[in-house]
Amino acid sequence: MIPIFDKNTQTSMAGRRFLGNGKMAYTCNLTYGNFAEGGKFHVFGEYAHPENGKTYMLKTSCGSGGWQIYSSQDANPAPLKFGMYNEFFYNLDECQFMFRDERPHKVYIGSNMAEGYRSLCVWSDTQLGSTEAVGKYNDFAALQTILRKDGSPLQISLVAAESLSVATESTASIAVNTEDIDASANFRFYLGSQRREPSAFDFNRKESVTQGYATGTVVSNNQEFQNVVLSVEGIDSAMSLSWIDQSDKAPIWFNIGAGSVKDAEIITDPEQAEPEPDVKPWKALQAAIDAGAQKIRLVKSGETPPSGYAAVYTDENGVVRAESDDTFLHIAAGKNVTPDLNGNTIHRNLDVSTPDGNAVKIEGALTLEDSAGAALSKAATTTISTRMAAASLSATAERSVSPAALSPTIPRL
């Protein structure tokens, strides 16, 4: 337990005890009830000032307000405005806090809602330390969302600068990262003024963008939401994270990091926001088939498939190539899969007869498409008309699959 009290903390925080790992610290008041009675926690992070040589514990929320938790028994709760929260309760079975040695500037928070509760929101009137610690942007820091390739949020960052684009590695910052969120998750986030718009259980959407706001398209619950505020600059801002229509048995995790841009692991380049997973393309294609994806598009790094398609990333040459330990692609009974080659190639990478050397074994249904059209003109292709329409498959770099084999299993080479 460590006490936190210096010029960086307001009087209301004096004397409180925090649990910490030397870089991050938290304290909480999570008794059952409403905002006035509990339901909030505080997070601080160590920040070494690059000019004055002092080290501060940066607060991440304004005053004694902290990060506030709200839950609802409604699977689709109505948005709440600032000032309505005192009447809104939260109810959790469990809330966990933990640190990880490999990422010392982060606190991981996991919540289990009580039985019968379906939606959860975490809200904060965000603030970055004090004026002494970070300068004039401590309460007017730039707030920005980085999206994954599938359109879901990966990180919300707060930097003590005019904008994220001018922040440096030593700029004071806060990073909020969602855990296990993708385009299928029923998840909302809010960025905006702390007082003017609904800020819990909904996006902040603006048909006409005012000064200081930037908008874009976000994918949630496999639906596109237009005109979502993705960044705000130059205002006293707030943010919220909301999980909608969840199971009360599934834990909800996110993490908060604070410190410099480098220490808090702020993502500054959207193009590098989501590194490609270290999964070979052939295995990734089989995994997408096994997961039940009906529409799959082969894409190169940096491309994004349209809504409704699962992405499988090719190598830099546009090839999904089997490795030496791979076997045929298996379309199991009951699966109905339509991969879109998108100008790319599926390559079995064999030039001699090999047991289980099929390119594809079809027990369900497979239709190969090519929205780009290019792959169908390559020499190493075949068209099979029984269970597959206009199928383009490369078995080897030199030879085509024999078109005489009109069976659910493509012949071995």
**Which pLDDT belongs to residue 292?**
82
Q: How far apart are CA 254 and CA 251, in angstroms?
A: 10
- Give the confidence band of 84 by pLDDT, cuts at 50, 70, 90: low
Q: What is the arithmetic mean of pLDDT over 10-17? A: 52
User: Where exactly are the structural domains of the chain?
Assistant: 2-272, 281-377
Does pTM top 0.85 for this prediction?
no
Nearest-CA neighbor of 365 among 347, 349, 384? 384
pLDDT at residue 380 greater than cutoff 50: no
Please tell me the predicted confidence (pLDDT) of residue 371: 85
Is the pLDDT score of 148 beyond 90?
no
**pLDDT tens digits for range 120-135:** 999 888 999 888 899 8
End-to-end CA distance of the chain: 67
> Residue 263 pLDDT more than 50?
yes
The per-residue pLDDT for 275 is 57
25 or 397, higher pLDDT? 25
Q: How far apart are CA 173 and CA 46, in angstroms?
A: 10
- Specify whether the CB–CB gap between 212 and 233 falls below 8 A: yes
pLDDT in tens, 158-217: 999 998 889 999 999 999 998 677 788 899 999 987 766 667 899 998 876 677 889 999
DSSP string, 149-203: TTS-EEEEEEESSS-GGG--TTSEEEEEEESS--TTS-EEEEEEETTTSEEESS-
